[in-house]
Every structure is written in structure tokens, then in C-alpha cells.
């Protein structure tokens, strides 16, 4: 991914003083955009959506085990309590929030079972990754603007956020936030020590009409439910 340096141009101006013209003064130093404003705006846009659909590629890097797992599929969000990641690779896998439970079905790593968890009262700390990150940035994070960049031809601001408390399950996140629609195009999360999750979104469709059945998990025949 090609990084693009970001600067705000400043024009030098000639000064006129008694006694004659003086050469232009020094060019004012460029100032980086305010990262908190950028993250707040992204959060406000995300919360204002009726729904969101996007293609995703997820990469999980485990430096301790030396593993890298790549998966892909479609992400769906509707309202405050309906969320789903439906995987095409590995096929048939899913993470679904139906408003009452969180279902995690990953037969490639845990065959024959599906994990069912009660949905947390605060979805920010649940499986809805986007809501978890974009909520209340001023009180929850220290934010730093890193640079301007592009993701799949889209101009983005890259912002790092570090949680102020241990109540979130990541130690640092880097967000690529679109300069036009303010939605995230890429997210990198440092989770448990040595584990990094990278989520890249494409073909975003804000306020798309999404079938309700995508937020319903139907337990496959022969699969047992493991409550946690």
C-alpha cells in the first residue's frame, strides 16, 4: 500500500514596512489534522447509519505461534444490535449477533460445535468490531494522527488510538478512515500479546436493504451448542 505524505500548504507573503520591502517570511509549519475530530466524525457517521454492508478480508497474525490466518466474506450491520460476519473462506463460518445472543461458528478450527454467548448489554465491548472501536473516542482513547494514505484508491486519514483503560480487548488500534464518507476502510487491532487482527473493507454499501435472516443463526444438523 502506497503511503502518501500529507501536508497543509502555507503561502509565504511579502511584508511591507516603513523604509521598503522585506523578503517573504518563513513558511508556517504544516499542522496535522486533529485525530479526535476525525474519529468522532467517523463514529457519528457509523451510528447514523440504518445499515451497512461490505466485503471484508480479515488477517490474524500470531507472532508467538508464527501463524497467519486469512479469511474473507461479507459484513452486515443493522441498527444497534444486529451484526454478522458471513465467511466465504473458510466457507459457511459465521459470527452473528441476533439481538440476544452472539453466535460464533468456526468449523475449520472447532468442528461440530457453535459457541453461544449472551449479548452484552453494552455492544461496544462485544463482537461488533466497528461499534466497539468508534464509540465515545474522547473519553475512551488517546488518539494520534499518523498520516494520509489510500486504500483501494480511496483517500483516508490514518489514526492510532490507545485505550485509556483495560476494559477493551485491544491495546492499540490503527484506523484508516475515508476522507469522503468517513467510514473505516481498514482496521488493525493489537489484541492479546503478539496477536494482530487486520480487517480491510471494500464495496461498502451504507443504508443497504439487508435481509433479516442474515442476522439469524440456524444451527446446522449435528452441531452442538456450547454456552459460554
pTM: predicted TM-score of the whole model, two decimal places: 0.80
Using pLDDT thresholds of 50, 70 and 90, give the confidence band for residue 128.
low
The whole-number average pLDDT for the span 64-92 is 93
Q: What is the pLDDT of residue 131?
A: 74
Instruction: Give 88 or 169, the one with higher predicted confidence.
Output: 88
Domains (ranges, CATH) in the chain?
A: 30-140+200-227 (2.50.20.10)
For 210-216, the CB contacts below 8 A with 24+ separation are: 210/51, 210/53, 210/76, 210/78, 214/76, 214/84, 214/86, 215/76, 215/78, 215/82, 215/83, 215/84, 215/96, 215/97, 215/98, 215/99, 216/96, 216/98
Instruction: Give 227 or 12, the one with higher predicted confidence.
Output: 227
Amino acid at each position: 500500500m502506497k503511503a502518501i505524505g500529507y501536508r497543509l500548504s502555507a503561502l509565504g507573503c511579502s511584508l511591507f514596512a516603513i523604509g521598503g520591502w522585506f523578503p517573504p517570511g518563513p513558511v508556517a509549519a504544516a499542522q496535522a489534522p486533529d485525530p479526535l475530530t476525525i474519529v468522532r466524525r467517523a463514529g457519528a457517521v457509523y451510528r447514523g447509519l440504518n445499515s451497512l454492508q461490505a466485503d471484508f478480508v480479515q488477517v490474524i497474525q500470531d507472532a508467538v505461534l508464527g501463524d497467519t490466518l486469512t479469511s474473507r466474506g461479507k459484513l452486515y450491520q443493522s441498527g444497534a444490535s444486529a451484526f454478522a460476519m458471513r465467511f466465504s473462506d473458510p466457507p459457511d463460518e459465521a459470527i452473528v449477533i441476533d439481538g440476544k445472543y452472539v453466535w460464533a461458528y468456526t468449523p475449520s478450527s472447532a468442528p461440530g460445535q457453535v459457541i453461544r454467548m449472551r449479548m452484552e448489554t453494552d455492544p461496544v465491548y462485544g463482537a461488533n468490531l466497528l461499534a466497539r472501536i468508534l464509540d465515545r473516542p474522547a473519553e475512551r482513547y488517546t488518539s494520534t494522527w499518523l498520516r494520509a494514505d489510500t486504500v483501494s484508491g480511496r483517500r483516508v486519514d490514518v489514526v492510532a488510538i490507545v485505550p485509556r483503560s483495560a476494559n477493551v480487548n485491544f491495546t492499540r488500534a490503527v484506523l484508516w478512515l475515508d476522507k469522503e464518507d468517513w467510514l473505516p476502510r481498514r482496521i488493525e487491532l493489537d489484541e492479546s500479546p503478539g496477536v494482530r487482527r487486520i480487517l480491510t473493507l471494500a464495496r461498502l454499501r451504507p443504508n443497504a436493504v439487508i435481509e433479516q435472516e442474515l442476522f439469524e443463526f440456524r444451527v446446522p444438523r449435528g452441531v452442538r451448542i456450547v454456552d459460554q
